[in-house]
Structure 1
Amino acid sequence: MKDNYKRSAGTKNSKGKRGQNQKLSRKSIIKRVLILTVLIGLIFLVLGSMLFAYYVSQAPAFSEEKLRDPVPAQIYDRNDELVTTVYQGQRRESVDIEDVPDHVVDAVLAVEDNRFYEHGAIDFWRLGSAVLSNIFDGFGSEGASTITQQVVKRTFLTDDKSIERKAQEAYLAYRLEQEYSKDEILEMYLNKIYYSDGIYGIRTASQYYFDKELDELNLAEAAYLAGLPQLPNRYNLYVEDNRGVDRAQIVLRLMHEHERISSEEYEEAQNHDLYAGLVERSDEERASTEPENPEFASYINFIKNEISAHDSFRNVDISELMASGIEIYTNMDAGIQRNLQNLTDNRDYYYNPKFQSDDFDIASTILDTQTGELVAISGGRDYQEVVDHNQALVPRNVGSTMKPFLAYGPAIEELEWRTDQTIEDEYEYSPEGIDHISIYNYDMQDHGQVTIREALSRSYNIPAVKAYEIVKDEAGGDAPREFAEEIGFDYNAIGEGDYEVSFNDVLGGRDSAFTPLQMAEAYSALGNNGEYNSAHAVRHVVTNNGDTVEFEHESEQVMEDYTAYMLTDILKDTFEPYGSADYIYMDGLNIAAKTGTTSYSRELREEQNLPDNAAKDAWIVGYTPEYTMSVWTGFTATEEGGETSFVGTDEHITPQWFFRDIMQSISTYNGQDFEQPDSVIRLSNGELAVQGSEDFEEYEESGSSGGTGSGGSDGSNGDNGDGGSSNTWNWSWGDGGDDESDSNDGDGGSSGQNGGQQDETIEETPVTGDPSTGGEVNEEPVEEEPAEDESGNGGTEQEENTTEDAETVPDDSPPEETDGATDEAPESEPTEEADDDAA
């Protein structure tokens, strides 16, 4: 019993001890967790401090000079030479804080930082409130940056949302508050902030918008200026909406809520009409001050677009970035850029008064053919970035310049056609499945069996449409569209994305509207063995804190090298006799090109009493192994009688003279030619075939005895007497007008639906003299002897080429924008017009 008692007692004591141990164990665990938590916190604090210290060590140098004024961007050319400095908002009137009236200060503080004079560099109370708002109301619903933080961010940093930038911002803000008073910091802010239209500083903005000094501003005007910097371009009162007014109302409400104005003042200011005191300004007057080098404005505009699209700068206001002291290294050839813009602006270059008028404009792009580097660009005559659209980036109907990409390119790519592949031309032709529409060639002639070399270089309409239809039938209905999209012409972006390419698009009408930049990109791929490069201007950017941001670009093989080379070989004939630009002498250059024009709808021609041969746009796109250049010319207004239209031979060829003079001035004349790839073989008749293709094998089996029975590329009439191409005109430059909506392009061909007008026709005789420099166009009639073809068939009699005698020659009415083609023969025959144009 005793032993049992002891064991029992021992057991009891053991249980008590275990309970005590269990109790101590729980306390120990909690204690250990707390200690571990503290340790982890300390570790994170140490690591965070070290990371913060590292970020701070990488912060930009603290510069008083940068704090006081915006630092202009510097632009460097392809040789790393400084070519221009971009002063964003040179109009700048600084103001001392003592001269800023109270109601202006109250407006700024109410909307930007109401507790500015109460907190330090960072407003932790506002920061906490912003965190809660972002949690419950959505990210970005409220910001917490103080005026001090905004000053250092605009001066030294970017809008990057990274932890590194936030750490540097906090550090620099602290330093700023240590070295400057609150009044000095507010003064920096008011003089540094951007107010749209190239304006920096609140005093300058007051004078610009209201023609007042700051102490003359009423409460509503002060509220407007205080709220404008958040989104300056959107809240600009010169923009046609009420966003600026709405923004001013928000600022007034905040002033009232923060008790900076009374209820009576609030109500009175709410009812004030801001537009009543707004200075009236035209778009030209709104332009930023004249740049030091206006010839670079178009290139700078492209630079800004490219930088804004880069991942590193997507969330950055480009105007502020350009005032942050960045250095931009580009692909610009400064000499070519100056030459291009100066010739564009030189009205005396054009002998015809209508091309000297404000209604005429010209835009162009020059690329490095091999790399796609943007060498030069002109956005229009007297281009000003703030008020003008960059015309090189504005889509236009491209006319016959689209034929290589929807007709002959796909035919060579998919069907491996030879360059002497023949197509039967006709006087008129109705596209497959569209019996009520007829297409005509620019000269209203049937040329019989023609090679694709002749058809493309002379810009005949009917063979182009037939080639397009054959490709669809044999290679698939989407083949032409897919070929064009590979080279940058995205038809899927049109409408709802279900756009169907038609014969009208082949001729550059309907919705085949692309920019001069896109046209240069596409044609440069032809000169680069089918390798496509998107145009790019920027090589790299050095930010104000010394970081280098690279701009990388990749090439893409978008077609077979044989397709590119064979098209190029054909397009060289554009400058040969009977080619669509054979009046342009390009001696010493291996160059290929395509011309094009677009015309007006029948309704507009009738409404404005326009000549049938009036065109509204004229194009040429051409390339050497060195450079690719696109040129668009057109009018910004339509006046009666064709006063703002291209009418007649000497007017249609306007872009060709410009193209010739620029290309001849910038080329090195080093003898470089396009390199024939191994996939292409030149036949004994001088034509090209795809190595190993069925057509090539047939050619070899036939004994290489000569062609496919088509007209020769010299316009003679073929080599086998089977009705090859017979040119009725001594010089036929086959580009008539093209329709902008539903009509065919009209390298002269006529297009009208249900009996409408035919497409613009274009015929010309040789030009002696240079219209671009005041030379006279030879309007003497050419010989009227019938031209004989080699087959013995007499050619059609040559018509006079004088526009004044249009009634004696065929009517060359341009293609229609809406009616498509005509099912009736034209009432008269085409007049002599510049061939350049339907293309």
Structure 2
Amino acid sequence: MSDDIRSRQQRKKQQREQATNKKNKKGNHSLLKKIIKYMAIALGALSVAGAIVLFSIILSAPDLDEESLTLAQNPEIYDRNDELISTLNTAENRRSANIDEVPELVQDAFVVTEDIRFYDHFGLDMRRIGGAIVSNVTGGFGSEGASTITQQVVRNLFLSADKTMTRKIQEQYLAVRLEQQYSKEQILEMYLNAIYFSDGRYGIVEAADYYFNKTLDELEIEDAALLAGMPQRPNAYNPMKNPDLAEQRRNTVISLMANHERISEEEAEQARNVLVEDQIHEGERETSDYQAFIDEVLDEVEALEEVDAQDIYSGGLEIYTTMDRDVQSHVEYLMQSGEVIQFPDDEYQAGITLMDTNSGAIRALGGHRETAKGARSWNWATSPKRQPGSTIKPVLDYGPAIDELQWSTFYQITDEPFQFPSGHEVRNFDRQYRGDVSMREALRDSLNVPAAKTFQEVGATNAQAFAERLGIPFDQAATPSYSLGGFSTGFSSRELAGAYAAFGNEGVYNEPYTVRKVVLQDGTEIDMQPEPEVAMNDYTAFMITDMLKTVVTSGTGTRANVSGVPIAGKTGSTNFSDEERNQYGITSGIRDSWFAGYSTDLTAAVWTGYNSLDEGYIQYDGHQQHIARDLFREAMTFAHQGLETSNFTRPDSVTRVAVERSTGKLPSEFTPESEIVHEYFVRGTEPTEVSDEFESLNPVSDLEAVYDEEIHEVIISWDYDEEFIDQVSFMVEARRDDKDEFDLLDITSSTSFGITNPELGDVYEIQITAISNEDEDLQSDASTTSVTIPEADELDEENMDEDLLDEFFDDLFGDDDDNQGNGPPANRPGNGHGNGNGNGHDQDPEDVDEQEDSDDDTENEEGLDDDETDEEDDSNEDDILNLT
């Protein structure tokens, strides 16, 4: 029975569980249906909302009016004070062509480059849109475009330059409408007449004439390809500014034309073999004001991700720059006039970048000098790369040594024969070696061996990392030759100025820039100012700066000094290879000459030289190699007018210490001033040990003791180093030859002493010792001399001889009332000094020395030496004595 009860209970339990499961399943199905229902409603609402938004965007699109199809809105460029300096460009540089005037070759070049399916789509290329969607999903909206030629026409002529979803929708809508209203040929004609080709040139007709001096029907494959490659980045692919980059882009277009069978592979190869330099005609060209600066402005704006390149030249942008118009005008005057700077010839070129030390804002650019032939408008300030020479030493050698190894400005480096690991001998400019020199001296005199050794000590990896933080580009890992400026490609004055400015800005690097902001047509502002970055310790910046000040005040850069302005800077020059010397017959001279320097307000870097060795090279004539320094001085002098430029401030991390030159230790009180230098150390690394090099006092010099029989006194005199004479006294001691001990006679600050009434017939030994006034235990070695006092009978005999001489001369010549005293006349030998007054004891010692020199000279002129004179005097005395 109990079993039956349990069975009934189990069946009821199972029934309850089954009922619950059925209810749960029914509930789950109901919830899923509700979710689907709400999602459908939401999607419907979103679709309606999206449709409304889309419809609203389309309704707000501009009309396709006939006038807009021919006129784009040029950008306006403003200076640092927001004053308009240029509108790029006016109608006189626009010439249109009908599509039937454009050769098919030229049309093909643009179509294969910009829109290969141009003749197949309805204004939108769905395949390109699909690829762009994938790219924008992975890289963010705007990372890749899908614009057809039709869309570019719409964007250039009707829409603002901003990259937004609204503009993109309007662009696609208007592109479809444009295709409905105009033929493909008409749309391509609009495109070719509206494209910007750099240097203020709009349209294919103007570009062909400006770059090649050709009409459209004269264009070759390489010409068409070069022009077709420019619209993507007109300024960057300008063949006169960046020929190498332009040639790469041109060859890409040539390959596209061959791949799409617009030309044969043979034609493509022939076109590739033409140098871009040979395509560009050499005729004179009109250049706009501030062209070099504007070129750099456009390069920076072209690099913006927020704006398409062609939109820059047709989208009505307002571009606000960093230009100081007065400084820019003066730099161009210095470059072009030849009135202040005497350039050797028209081919001699220069590039200048002048910028704000603290912000990186470029105030002026000197891009190139015009020549009689009409120079290609290469911007020598920013584009061509030249080896920097010794201007790299603070950046790649000494800067890293201070930053990584905490070297002081006194750090000693041995200047001696040295080789790179390759075996190449490193030599200084004068082929001399100086032994141990401080880092300051090595940089001041631009010595190569210490720089190469420093680079080796720092290590190539650390050195390169330091330089890269200062914006210096490397196309490969730094090698030892880089330490002396031997880069494989080099860099521009813009990059060098940016690196040097960081030293003047307490170690903070700002990338040089020309554009502050860009304002789009709808009012959107794009901030273009780079963020500052700490590149080094503040002690590195200050110590490099202080050494570079020495370069300008007493080193190789004195010509670059700006009156009244604290300037730090460095010279640089580059040499020729042996192969170049042999090929061009160069016996002396340099390829490039540089100067880079800065104050707390402004920084400038200047390059000078020739484009190629076929045009010339810098001679060692005392002038050409100095032009870079002269340009720097004149430009910076003008730019600093009205500025109250302060000196560089020493940070707390640096301490100034007096050190003994020969030991590097702290000087003692007796270290000569000539042996003391004041140098900078990273705080905590300065020397603490006092030198003992000069602990013992120097002894006296030129000690002399003379017996004066007239006053019966021994006159003692000596000399001492004038630098220390106020710090010492002199102990005077003497002893007779029959004494063992010296007697202390006096301690005096004078350099002379007299012993009165000496014993006749005795020999006196004199001893003089210098004693420190601060520490009487600190004494010099004693200096000694001796003097013999004659016996009394010797004195009587001498006096008797003098009486006999007097009587003889009186008898012979008579009394001479004018010749007073006991000595002979001034022109005869005597025991005085020829002054006619006897002994001459009171005569000034310097006068005595001069008189003795004069006497010696006279005797030499008479052909008599001292021995002959003495012998003659003795024979006369014998004759006199015999007569008496």
Fold match (TM-score > 0.5): yes
**What does 1:485-524 correspond to in 2, within 5 Å?**
485-491=468-474, 493-494=475-476, 499-502=477-480, 504-511=481-488, 513-524=490-501
Q: Which residue of 1 aligns with 2:591?
A: 616
Q: Which residue of 1 aligns with 2:286?
A: 290
Indicate if the aligned counterparts of 2:354 and 2:603 stay in contact, CA closer than 8 A: yes
Once the two structures are superposed, residues 615-643 of structure 1 have per-residue CA deviations (whole angstroms, 9 ceiling, x without a partner) of 11111101011111101111123259xx5
Q: Which residue of 2 aligns with 1:373?
A: 361
User: Quick one: distance in 2 between partners of 1:156 and 1:704?
Assistant: 84
Once the two structures are superposed, residues 46-89 of structure 1 have per-residue CA deviations (whole angstroms, 9 ceiling, x without a partner) of 22124325645876798875443122221111111111222188
Query: What is the root-mean-square deviation of aligned Cα atoms in Å?
Result: 5.4
Q: Which residue of 1 aligns with 2:72?
A: 70
Indicate if the aligned counterparts of 1:416 and 1:695 stay in contact, CA closer than 8 A: no
Residue 44 of structure 1: SS of its match in structure 2?
Answer: helix
Q: Tell me, yes or no, if structure 1 residue 650 matches structure 2 residue 623.
A: yes
Q: Tell me, yes or no, if structure 1 residue 482 matches structure 2 residue 465.
A: yes
| Deviation (angstroms), 1:402 | 1.5
Distance 1:419 1:63, change over 3 A: farther
Once the two structures are superposed, residues 705-738 of structure 1 have per-residue CA deviations (whole angstroms, 9 ceiling, x without a partner) of 99xxxxxxxxxxxx99xxxxxxxxxxxxxxxxxx
Q: Which residue of 1 aligns with 2:85?
A: 83
Match for 2:299 among 296, 301, 305? 305
Q: Which residue of 2 aligns with 1:782?
A: none
Match for 1:324 among 299, 304, 315? 315
User: Quick one: distance in 1 between partners of 2:197 and 2:489?
Assistant: 39
Unaligned stretches of 5+ residues in structure 1:
1-24, 254-265, 707-718, 721-839
Indicate if the aligned counterparts of 2:328 and 2:365 stay in contact, CA closer than 8 A: yes
Residue 312 of structure 1: SS of its match in structure 2?
Answer: coil
> Looking at both structures, which has the greater relative contact order when contacts are Cα pairs under 8 Å and sequence separation is at least 6?
1
| Deviation (angstroms), 1:520 | 0.7
User: Quick one: distance in 2 between partners of 1:113 and 1:101?
Assistant: 17
**What does 1:268-283 correspond to in 2, within 5 Å?**
none
Q: Which residue of 1 aligns with 2:610?
A: 635
Match for 1:451 among 434, 438, 444? 438
**What does 1:6-155 correspond to in 2, within 5 Å?**
39-52=41-54, 55=57, 66-87=68-89, 90-94=92-96, 123=122, 149-155=151-157
User: Quick one: distance in 2 between partners of 1:287 and 1:546?
Assistant: 41
Once the two structures are superposed, residues 273-328 of structure 1 have per-residue CA deviations (whole angstroms, 9 ceiling, x without a partner) of 999xx9x99766489963431xx221122222222223313xx23x5522332111
| Deviation (angstroms), 1:515 | 1.9
Q: Tell me, yes or no, if structure 1 residue 442 matches structure 2 residue 434.
A: no
| Deviation (angstroms), 1:544 | 3.0
Indicate if the aligned counterparts of 2:156 and 2:314 stay in contact, CA closer than 8 A: no
Distance 1:151 1:671, change over 3 A: closer
Distance 1:378 1:542, change over 3 A: same
Q: Which residue of 1 aligns with 2:686?
A: 695
| Deviation (angstroms), 1:392 | 2.9
AA partner of residue 337 (structure 2):
N
Q: Which residue of 2 aligns with 1:733?
A: none
Match for 2:329 among 312, 319, 338? 338
AA partner of residue 361 (structure 2):
E
User: Quick one: distance in 1 between partners of 2:358 and 2:299?
Assistant: 23
Residue 382 of structure 2: SS of its match in structure 1?
Answer: helix
Distance 1:46 1:511, change over 3 A: same
Q: Which residue of 2 aligns with 1:796?
A: none
**What does 1:577-726 correspond to in 2, within 5 Å?**
577=554, 579-611=555-587, 613-638=588-613, 644-668=617-641, 669-684=643-658, 687-690=678-681, 692-698=683-689
Indicate if the aligned counterparts of 2:58 and 2:173 stay in contact, CA closer than 8 A: yes
User: Quick one: distance in 1 between partners of 2:420 and 2:109?
Assistant: 68
Q: Which residue of 2 aligns with 1:411?
A: 401
Structure whose CA Rg is larger: 2
User: Quick one: distance in 2 between partners of 1:651 and 1:109?
Assistant: 46
Indicate if the aligned counterparts of 1:297 and 1:385 stay in contact, CA closer than 8 A: no
User: Quick one: distance in 1 between partners of 2:691 and 2:238?
Assistant: 74
User: Quick one: distance in 2 between partners of 1:555 and 1:484?
Assistant: 16
| Deviation (angstroms), 1:385 | 10
User: Quick one: distance in 1 between partners of 2:67 and 2:397?
Assistant: 61
Distance 1:624 1:169, change over 3 A: same
AA partner of residue 302 (structure 1):
E
User: Quick one: distance in 1 between partners of 2:404 and 2:267?
Assistant: 69
Once the two structures are superposed, residues 176-220 of structure 1 have per-residue CA deviations (whole angstroms, 9 ceiling, x without a partner) of 799999999787556434578865446667888999999x89999
Once the two structures are superposed, residues 674-706 of structure 1 have per-residue CA deviations (whole angstroms, 9 ceiling, x without a partner) of 1111112223566343353232444xx559999
| Structure holding more strand per residue | 2
AA partner of residue 536 (structure 1):
Y
User: Quick one: distance in 1 between partners of 2:208 and 2:455?
Assistant: 61
User: Quick one: distance in 1 between partners of 2:359 and 2:443?
Assistant: 26
Distance 1:45 1:670, change over 3 A: same
Distance 1:131 1:174, change over 3 A: closer
Please say which of residues 320-329 and 127-136 is displaced more in the overlay. Answer: 127-136
Q: Which residue of 2 aligns with 1:561?
A: 538
Once the two structures are superposed, residues 341-382 of structure 1 have per-residue CA deviations (whole angstroms, 9 ceiling, x without a partner) of 231123454445xx2232x21111111111111111222223
Once the two structures are superposed, residues 649-684 of structure 1 have per-residue CA deviations (whole angstroms, 9 ceiling, x without a partner) of 222212111111111111135241111111122235
Distance 1:60 1:378, change over 3 A: farther
Indicate if the aligned counterparts of 2:539 and 2:651 stay in contact, CA closer than 8 A: yes
Indicate if the aligned counterparts of 2:155 and 2:311 stay in contact, CA closer than 8 A: no
| Deviation (angstroms), 1:404 | 1.4
Match for 1:402 among 379, 392, 395? 392
Unaligned stretches of 5+ residues in structure 2:
1-26, 659-675, 696-722, 725-884
* TM-score, normalising length: structure 1: 0.63
Distance 1:614 1:413, change over 3 A: same
| Deviation (angstroms), 1:31 | 11
User: Quick one: distance in 1 between partners of 2:501 and 2:79?
Assistant: 21
Identity of aligned residues (%): 33
User: Quick one: distance in 1 between partners of 2:337 and 2:367?
Assistant: 14
Residue 440 of structure 2: SS of its match in structure 1?
Answer: helix
Distance 1:432 1:338, change over 3 A: closer
User: Quick one: distance in 2 between partners of 1:610 and 1:173?
Assistant: 62
Indicate if the aligned counterparts of 2:600 and 2:645 stay in contact, CA closer than 8 A: no
AA partner of residue 292 (structure 1):
S
Q: Tell me, yes or no, if structure 1 residue 573 matches structure 2 residue 550.
A: yes
**What does 1:780-799 correspond to in 2, within 5 Å?**
none
Q: Which residue of 1 aligns with 2:452?
A: 465
Match for 1:356 among 330, 345, 353? 345
User: Quick one: distance in 1 between partners of 2:627 and 2:649?
Assistant: 31
User: Quick one: distance in 2 between partners of 1:482 and 1:365?
Assistant: 24
AA partner of residue 370 (structure 2):
D
User: Quick one: distance in 2 between partners of 1:487 and 1:224?
Assistant: 37
Indicate if the aligned counterparts of 2:319 and 2:519 stay in contact, CA closer than 8 A: yes
Please say which of residues 522-531 and 388-397 is displaced more in the overlay. Answer: 388-397
Once the two structures are superposed, residues 787-808 of structure 1 have per-residue CA deviations (whole angstroms, 9 ceiling, x without a partner) of xxxxxxxxxxxxxxxxxxxxxx
